[in-house]
Amino acid sequence: MAPVQYTSSKEGFTNSNIQFNTDKAVSADDALLTKFTYENSIVEKDPSTGRLSVTPTAIDYQFKVDLKVPKVGLLLVGLGGNNGSTLVSSILANKHNISFENKEGVVKPNYYGSVTQSSTIKLGIDKETGNDVYAPFNSVVPLVNPNDLIVGGWDINGLSLDAAMQRAKVLDIDLQKKLTPYLKEYKPLPSVYYPDFIALNQKDRADNIINKTESGEIRTDNKWADVEKIRKDIRDFKESNKLDKVIVLWTANTERYADVIDGVNDNVDNLLASIKNNHDEIAPSTIFAVASILEKVPYINGSPQNTFVPGVIALAEKEGSFIGGDDFKSGQTKLKSVLAQFLVDAGIRPVSIASYNHLGNNDGYNLSAPKQFRSKEISKQSVVDDIIKSNEILYNKEKGDKIDHCIVIKYLPAVGDSKVAMDEYYSELMLGGHNKISIHNVCEDSLLATPLIIDLVVIAEFLQRVNYKRADEGDDKYQDFYAVLSLLSYWLKAPLSRPGFEPINGLNKQRQALENLLRLLVGLPINNELRFEERLV
């Protein structure tokens, strides 16, 4: 797709795809300037009576979008894993238009599964018919084309990506053969390996690591040196590829949860001191996060461990560097974030959700260890938390009502990358009735996760180009978004939110926030479904 170009006119402004007839936005000097009134309602509750007082509010903002799309590099932690090798393969197949044959015929390359590349956004209604009109998601504002991403990264295993692709067994053999000449050029940088944080069954893969002595021993006694080495890798990657921006994303093994300890990782000073003192609760993912933040590059956590301990979040705030996480939301959990919301919104009371998975890739092998499984269990269970809190009729907070939510994950090598998920939703209906929904879902894990990585990177980069200021405060200086990119929540199981705010897990709410951001930036009203054109006489 050609880059989106913008020109102003008296009627509004035009990009290469769409003319926007609005007085809310204008393009000038490679920037889009927009006025937007943010309307909401503030609710106060009388503690003695429980009576609610609701007051509408309106705040005027001005937004500025840098329209110039930069040259972007992506550094993956876990480059040689199933997700990493599949991501690079997908970019190369699309960039070089590599078609291949499988048992169903010729398959052309595409980015199916990616919101930014393969979904649409509602613009408005047709002037003649009143029916909805849609446009490609990436046609509204200028976004990075995944084909243009320069990809590199680290891995504890040193296989080149052609061999890693073959080991992963994700892609059809004809496509593997066509990609092999390209993938031979990709070899992961040495990564950080602290054995206590991932399953012992990963030890044999760890042959490409930074923190190894000449005698072959794994050292964990100079963690600050590991931070500095990762920082240097980021700078070298940016310089050697002449990049404008770099984004770092963790798609490596799930780590165990790190203990959050006062005086260790609870604030910036303690966190940095603990790294320099080689504390046992400093994980490899923390090393990568801190290095990225100090280099002012966004860091996204695609695994369920608690990389973003309070000290890491505070460091991102201090440095003004973006972070986002946790854990890719691809198959079973994405469906759960829709189905559980549907049941509760319908006034039906889910009382239990039983989720069973078995998978045969290396992610499943690592998750067969109890501590690593616990990290995944936490991220998968949390997806219904805000849904429960949204309905005090069904779930009495004072009584501690909740959904009995059971997660089981088993490693079964035979199924490979095709994760099998089975769910049972057991709910209460009126007058003692019950409803049971059973779902069997087979997910080709890496082919679902890879487009999520693309979307996370594309949107994270775009959010770096969006600034705002409050029109009523008389400040001419534009500001960046807050360090925690909660707008990435659509793609994440356990979305990270600003301290003090509860995360939003409902998929429809997350998608609506993304669409409305794009709409307001081009001067359109935020979306609604009142459809007065149809409903009023």
3-state per-residue secondary structure call for 447-461: HHHHHHHHHHHHHHH
Q: Which stretches does DSSP call E strand in 4-137?
A: 6-9, 12-15, 19-20, 25-28, 31-45, 52-66, 72-77, 100-102, 105-107, 120-125, 132-136
- CA proximity to 25, closest of 506, 482, 476, 466: 466
H or E element in which residue 190 lies: strand 189-190
Residues 118 and 113: their CA atoms lie apart, in Å, by 7
Gap between the Cα atoms of 304 and 492, Å rounded: 9
Judged by DSSP in three states, 213 sits in coil
Determine the Cα–Cα distance for residues 283 and 371; give it in Å rounded to an integer. 14
Structure tokens at 11: 């009627």
Do 303 and 255 meet the contact criterion of CB atoms below 8 Å apart? yes
Non-local CB neighbours of 486 within 8 Å, separated by 6+ positions: 324, 495, 496, 497, 498, 501, 503, 504
| 95 a catalytic residue | no
Contact 156, 51 (CB under 8 A): no
410 catalytic? Reply is no
Which residue in this structure is represented by tokens 């505070």? 314
Active site (annotated) includes residue 45: no
Residues near 439 by Cβ (< 8 Å), separated by ≥ 6?
335, 339, 421, 422, 423, 424, 425
Cα(64)–Cα(83) distance, rounded to whole angstroms?
A: 34
DSSP 237: H
Active site residue 327: yes
Which two tokens mark 527?
Answer: 């979306």
User: Which residue's entry shows tokens 């973003």?
Assistant: 308
Q: What is the CA radius of gyration of the chain?
A: 24
* Helix/strand/coil (H/E/C) assignment for every residue in 317-335: HHHCCCEEECCECCCHHHH
- Judged by DSSP in three states, 491 sits in helix
How far apart CA 208 and CA 492 sit, in angstroms, is 29
Q: What is the DSSP letter of 4?
A: P
| Among 233, 376, 445, 455, the one annotated catalytic | 376
CA–CA separation, 148 and 144 (whole Å) = 7
Would you please indicate which residues are annotated as catalytic (active-site) residues?
A: 327, 376, 419, 493
